[in-house]
Structure 1
């Protein structure tokens, strides 16, 4: 019996068949793909023709000789999935018609789901299962209201392990009709696991929330950008107009848990804060894929010398990193929080004739100081980390969730105010040994679960509190100007790495000499 892993025919089908059916699509998209073939040298063109001929033969052979009759669409979809998967890029994928619709809904409109921005590792091993990771919950959605946080792992959905299914299957299970129920097992930290029951809702893509923070010391405009959509720049302008009327003297731009969005949108937003120069550039191996987005003094609306702090965390990704990086590189803002996610690549969605499509990474983006942050992220100028739970606190947290103590109490005590919340938190502390600030936060979230999310939480949010404190200190402008650009930070890190390697080699050489 032939071992399938070593069979040349099977290798051809699994390894290279995936280019085959895509060739049919090329005929429908000559303008999009002709330029790509033009960049091939003569040798590559010869090899490409050879592979295409081989793939055609294998495709025909499989179609005509497989033991059961084969649906050509099955081979077509399998080919494209395999070809995209072979690139081992988590952001490149074949999109079936339903996924194309979902993508359009997410970017432009609304959809039925739970409101979680998620990602999934390519590799699945026994030591490190490929569980779905929450990049960020979308505010005022079932996922957000249930308290799901960035970094949480979705271990299973309706009893199905997410490690063993594709992202396409994950999305198919998570999305569904309004008011239908889906059950998740969430893993938080190393050991905390708990179940969450979510009722699907129509998820309207949010973009901006804003308001004033007047603490008696300064009037600060608080601008939370949730995601970058075609409407974001317009909504940001609404916020800035509102702040101006309120007489704001400083600004906080909150990009925490912002998963990104459209590069055109973030460029339009950045243009409101930057007078001139490059906002972001994209670089590909193909010249026609390169682009540069520049700022214009005509569209900059933020009053000069306005102190700006940008809040970032590990849920800040892609387009939100473009804005944070540009403001940092031009010394226009001070970054507070934690290192960002590190997604520095650009994807293009290409529709195909069957209402399907591909999402392909075509370029990497670079900040004004010519830095790419892919898989690196952007470090804050001032790191402020939310307290991590100890092992004992993780167990107490899991018990609190399992006991539904907060839900039960809040249900029987409607209209709780801040005093009531503080009193109940002290009561819970005796049983669950958790930080009072965290307990107040959890109670407050449950009290507001069926209401519109609070704009900010000055009791729990130590990162926001730190931002406000920085804005009140004298010498803010000098502080911002002294912060290193991303290029300077990356160059320093590279130099440190070379020095460390040199010292290691020197040490090894010295030790070797001693042994002699």
Structure 2
């Protein structure tokens, strides 16, 4: 009994001694760290001194953990953990550590093709029981398995092959989504508040497209339809091909479709905007680093778009980054009218920095500003005319989920090959008796299944209410006055700021009154 009491007494003493030794080993290695920090606060090189001391301290902790952790440690684990923690500390979803696999994926995407399902995705940094960090679809890439399955911008991917996306990192998500061509991956999708349904996608070689175009003829209205899917080095040349084609067809109006365009190269979008803007700033980037401050200006000789041709831009919540630069620039110069929904709101510029070991980091280096010196980060660009796609009610979400889960459309289409428009319309009416959804949506889903092995249709006037509205606005005889009266982004942001001040003042006044 006496021995037991002695050992119980000694344990906290030994623990205290060890703790003191540990603190001494770690904190004394960067000699007199606290005093150095204190003195550094009174010098001009405070940040430089602190930076050096923190690096020494981190190195000391790294060495101590490596040599003293209860199990043998792989140095790579500590290295990756340190880099991930450093990048996550900013709370910036675009500043991240890129493992070697992610760097390979990024290189594949940049060069134009990669294996996967064709979804541009994002993921919150933090997860909680109240708000799980599920993967969100920014936009599906056209003509890919994800696009053909009907996955939409804003959909949440709850799980991949049974693994909850809230519990894994973005790198792990990408590893699971990518795989050999022809293999399948199972997703659980949530659309809206309650609509959940499984989707099986067969991985394919993803070729990153850039531009599609064609004419839409309605009576005397001859509209050039230009869909920019992503901004790559090839985009300016493809846009020029489209504009040349429209001129030969004597177009009377232009629609630029930027919906679900996740962005791309700033140099590419600047070259595209230069075809419309004859003088002035297209976009500027601002940073605390002098070499990251740049201004892209329009050159008169590059302008090819006639000023008297009405131009309408289609945008939605999947329009991000470079697509917002084009929409913002043409809006600020009153050269185009925006139709659709508010854009995503990514107003920052990142650089990918390769590391010697084939890893890398992606770091936000600057923010970009529109011609009126407006930044839209986390705000987005509102349309001049808001036209929202129909939103499913809670009952419709459940009906949609049941329709996808039951897989009745693919079975019917397989049994009835070569369906025409009349067949599609008839089957949609039959489906509606079981699944209470809009006929237009049902026709759309059937048509996508019928055309699953064909290139995507350039447009769908039957389903696309935003495109219908854009055509009507482009044909308006008062279009010039309409686009001129639209507020610039600067004016919109100033109005919003003033409204916030008034609301705050009213709220304060109301509290005093009580």
Mapped to 1, the partners of 2:509 and 2:71 lie a distance apart of: 65
Give the counterpart of 1:131 among 131, 134, 138: 134
Equivalent in the alignment of 2:382: 379
Q: TM-score, length-normalised on structure 1? A: 0.91
Give the counterpart of 2:462 among 459, 463, 470: 459
Gaps of 5+ in 2: 1-11, 27-42
Matches within 5 A, 1:60-75: 60-75=63-78
Equivalent in the alignment of 2:264: 261
Indicate yes or no: 2:317 matched with 1:314: yes
Indicate yes or no: 2:402 matched with 1:399: yes
Question: How well do the aligned residues superpose, as a CA RMSD in angstroms?
Answer: 1.9
Shift in Å at residue 9 of structure 1? 7.5
SS of 1:431 mapped into structure 2: coil
Give the counterpart of 1:430 among 405, 408, 433: 433
Equivalent in the alignment of 2:341: 338
Mapped to 1, the partners of 2:353 and 2:76 lie a distance apart of: 19
Shift in Å at residue 54 of structure 1? 1.1
8 Å CA contact 2:115–2:178 kept in 1: the answer is: yes
Mapped to 1, the partners of 2:287 and 2:426 lie a distance apart of: 58
Equivalent in the alignment of 2:423: 420
Mapped to 2, the partners of 1:433 and 1:127 lie a distance apart of: 31
Equivalent in the alignment of 1:30: none
Mapped to 1, the partners of 2:68 and 2:133 lie a distance apart of: 35
Equivalent in the alignment of 1:286: 289
Q: TM-score, length-normalised on structure 2? A: 0.91
**Gap change, CA 1:8 and 1:347, over 3 Å in 2:** farther
4+ aligned runs moved over 3 Å, structure 1:
6-10
8 Å CA contact 1:217–1:472 kept in 2: the answer is: no
Equivalent in the alignment of 1:45: 48
8 Å CA contact 2:225–2:254 kept in 1: the answer is: yes
Shift in Å at residue 211 of structure 1? 0.5
8 Å CA contact 2:118–2:146 kept in 1: the answer is: yes
Equivalent in the alignment of 1:235: 238
Equivalent in the alignment of 1:183: 186
Shift in Å at residue 505 of structure 1? 1.5
SS of 2:300 mapped into structure 1: coil
Mapped to 2, the partners of 1:74 and 1:398 lie a distance apart of: 41
Equivalent in the alignment of 1:146: 149
Equivalent in the alignment of 2:163: 160
Mapped to 1, the partners of 2:255 and 2:21 lie a distance apart of: 60
Shift in Å at residue 184 of structure 1? 0.5
SS of 1:298 mapped into structure 2: helix
SS of 1:94 mapped into structure 2: strand
Mapped to 1, the partners of 2:371 and 2:187 lie a distance apart of: 41
Shift in Å at residue 244 of structure 1? 1.2
Indicate yes or no: 2:173 matched with 1:170: yes
**Gap change, CA 1:154 and 1:41, over 3 Å in 2:** farther
Mapped to 2, the partners of 1:175 and 1:233 lie a distance apart of: 30
Indicate yes or no: 2:206 matched with 1:211: no
8 Å CA contact 1:333–1:480 kept in 2: the answer is: yes
Indicate yes or no: 2:63 matched with 1:54: no
Q: How many residues align?
A: 482
Mapped to 2, the partners of 1:181 and 1:385 lie a distance apart of: 33
